[in-house]
Amino acid sequence: MATAYQMHDDGTTEEVKFEKSGLSDDGVYCIVDDSSKSIFLWKGRNADVRSKFVGARAASQIRSQHGNGYRVHPIDAGEEPSDFWDSFD
């Protein structure tokens, strides 16, 4: 099971419902997939620089919390690998 967090440009993160339709082109999300030990940092096409920075910092913090066995995978909208989409199943 995966957990999703949305990044906000004020530096905060918010846990959000985990579904494909919830990904906004204006947003940045960290999706933590425990089954593959992956942290996907998904960046929407129109996401602002501040949110991307917050996302990178949050992904690093999440990795520290989950352990070094987890890998962070930065992903731009439209360039998602299949294992990213598999985390939604």
Q: What are the residue boundaries of the structural domains of the chain, listed by start? A: 2-86
Q: What is the C-alpha to C-alpha distance for residues 76 and 31, in angstroms, rounded to an integer?
A: 13
Q: 2-86: CATH homologous superfamily?
A: Severin (3.40.20.10)
Q: What is the C-alpha to C-alpha distance for residues 68 and 49, in angstroms, rounded to an integer?
A: 27
Per residue in 20-72, pLDDT (tens digit) is 888 899 999 999 999 999 999 999 999 999 999 999 999 999 999 999 899 99
Q: Phi and psi (nearest 5°) for 24? A: -100, 140
Q: What is the C-alpha to C-alpha distance for residues 6 and 16, in angstroms, rounded to an integer?
A: 6
- The reply to whether the predicted model has a pTM over 0.85 is yes
Q: What is the C-alpha to C-alpha distance for residues 36 and 11, in angstroms, rounded to an integer?
A: 27
